[in-house]
Amino acid sequence: MNETGTYKILIVGCGGIGSFLARELNRLILNGQITEKTEITLADFDIVELKNIKYQNFTTNDLNRNKAEKLGDKYLFDYIKTEIKTEKELEPYNFIVSCVDNVETRKLFLNDCSKTGKYFIDLRAEGRAIAIFTKTDTSNKEELLKTLTGDGKSHSCQLDYELEQGIIQNGNVITALIGSQLILNKLREEKNNERYMFYF
């Protein structure tokens, strides 16, 4: 929270997790659970493609539109249509929610939040597996960085081999729903656990 008592939340990534998270946060605002003391901005440089429709919160009417812009217009959130690449771009925000699908961007968030003390929630899904990490009093940056494995490339929240078979899992939607509760917890000054991991 900043000196005015306002949370300025930046949600980065508006695909499989972020698109459903935006929907849930909008519902919570409409139900009076998130107040005007919380400002939400969506960020994504990607456009809606046909392959996204199966497992992201978009329809064919959204094709070729920027994801953050489309969701921002639909749910009345501010949005950024460019890729977040530097810590300077994170300066206006005191609460970072990562819904991205690549390791380097997650490293950027973890490094920035570790230095500045900003709160973060890192939402991840892969098929039926989910993993969520939050900032706590005992969060250790080095331990969190060790969870960022892989080849450094972007990966879908769905497993490639399952997509090839036409199988869609709900891990990304579940992660978004849990993420919305964790955001509520923080706004209500209730503690979140450091990590949540589950395979359905």
Return averaged pLDDT per consecutive 10 residues of the chain, 200 residues in all: 81 98 98 94 98 97 98 98 96 97 91 94 96 88 78 77 95 98 96 95
> Residue 2: what pLDDT?
65
> Which H helix or E strand runs over 12?
strand 7-12
Q: What kind and span of H or E run contains 195?
A: strand 195-199
- Which class for 108: exposed (0-12), middle (13-18), buried (19 or more C-beta within 10 A)? buried
Which one, of 186, 187, 175, lies nearest residue 32 by Cα? Answer: 187
The pLDDT assigned to 136 comes to 87
Exposed / middle / buried, residue 128 (Cβ in 10 Å: 0-12, 13-18, 19+):
middle
User: How high is the pLDDT of residue 150?
Assistant: 62
* SS3 of residue 173 by DSSP: helix
Q: Which residues contact 79 (CB under 8 A, 6 or more apart)?
A: 41, 42, 43, 44, 66, 68, 69, 71, 72
User: What is the rounded distance in angstroms from the CA atom of residue 37 to the CA atom of residue 7?
Assistant: 6
CATH class of 7-199: alpha beta
**Confidence at residue 175, expressed as pLDDT on a 0 to 100 scale:** 98
pLDDT of residue 152: 56
Residue 154 pLDDT: 62
Q: Which segments of 34-179 are extended strands (E)?
A: 38-43, 78-80, 95-98, 119-126, 129-134
pLDDT of the residue at 36: 86
Q: Which residues of 30-54 are buried (b: 16+ CB within 10 A; e: fewer)?
A: eeeebeeebbbbbbbebebeeebee
Tokens of 81: 């249509």
Cα–Cα distances (Å) from 162 to 15, 64, 157, in that order, read 18, 25, 11
Kindly report the pTM of this predicted structure: 0.94
